[in-house]
Amino acid sequence: MTEDQLDKFDQRILAELQQDGRLKNQELAECIGLSPAACWRRVKTLEEAGVIKNFTALVDPQKVGQPLCVLVMITLLRHSIDNTLEFEEKILRYPEVLQCYSTTGNSDFVLRVVIEDMAAYDRFLNEKIFTLQGISQVNSNFALREIKNETAIPIKAFPVTEKPG
């Protein structure tokens, strides 16, 4: 499913579910003006197409003892498929790493790490990151405070014809 296949009902479903993923199908159907059966079919289609990846709860890191947020820029020694794949496979196993991006610019990867404190971050670096093969440089930026942290992807209106129910 591509963006040009999303009609206004699909767009509204995505917008509503991003605001409240716990909406019951009946409530969602009423919000967007579809029958519950048609709404359910559309949500299932969006899930099967991978447009909706998951339903989850957003947890406050402070309230679960993980207040330290670190943006970690990592540069590899050499750019080879083996080094990159090994790095990516290991990073996927680290629960402290909430996001990992392969990037252009001064670093090869940027990680967002959420962890309990500086001592735990020091252990994370020494026991996990610094043991990875092919690491050239690691730079850590500590978040002082959170200004914006959104999870909803902006859903733009596409000029397509309406598909009923």
For residue range 15-25, list pLDDT tens digits in order.
Answer: 999 999 999 99
Condensed to tens digits (0 to 9), the pLDDT of residues 63-74 reads: 999 999 999 999
All domains of the chain in start order, with CATH = 3-48 (1.10.10.10), 62-142 (3.30.70.920)
What DSSP assignment string belongs to 135-155? EEEEEEEE-SS-S----PPP-
Q: Whole-model pTM?
A: 0.85
CB neighbourhood size of 114 (10 A): 18
Are the C-beta atoms of 46 and 52 separated by less than 8 Å?
A: yes
